[in-house]
Amino acid sequence: MKKAEIRLAGFGGQGIVLLGNIIGKAASIYNNSYAALTQSYGPESRGGSCRAEVIISDSPVEYPYITDPGVVVILSQEAYNEFGAGAKDHVLLIVDSELVKIDNPPAARMLSIPASRLAQEMGKPVVANIIMLGFLAANSDVVSREALEKAVKDFIPAGTESFNMKAFELGYSYSSPDKGPA
Reported pTM: 0.91
Which pLDDT does position 175 carry in this prediction?
78
The confidence score (pLDDT) of residue 42 equals: 66
Q: What is the pLDDT of residue 104?
A: 86
Q: How far apart are CA 154 and CA 151, in angstroms?
A: 5
- Let me know: does 47 contact 63? Beta carbons within 8 Å: no
Determine phi and psi for 113, rounding to 5 degrees: -150, 135
Strands 3-11 and 49-57: antiparallel
Q: Would the pLDDT of 3 be above 90?
A: yes
**pLDDT tens string 128-171:** 999 999 999 999 999 999 999 999 999 999 999 999 999 999 99
Q: What is the structure's pLDDT at 125?
A: 94
Cα gap 121→141, rounded to integer Å? 28
pLDDT at site 45:
56
Band of the pLDDT at 1, cuts 50, 70, 90?
A: low
Backbone region of residue 105 per phi and psi (left: phi > 0; alpha: psi in -120 to 50; beta: other values): beta
- Average pLDDT of the residues in 30-41: 93
Is CATH 3.40.920.10 correct for 3-173? yes
The rounded percent of the chain whose pLDDT value lies above 70 is 92
Q: What pLDDT, on a 0 to 100 scale, did the predictor assign at position 43?
A: 60
E strands within 42-102?
49-57, 71-74, 92-96
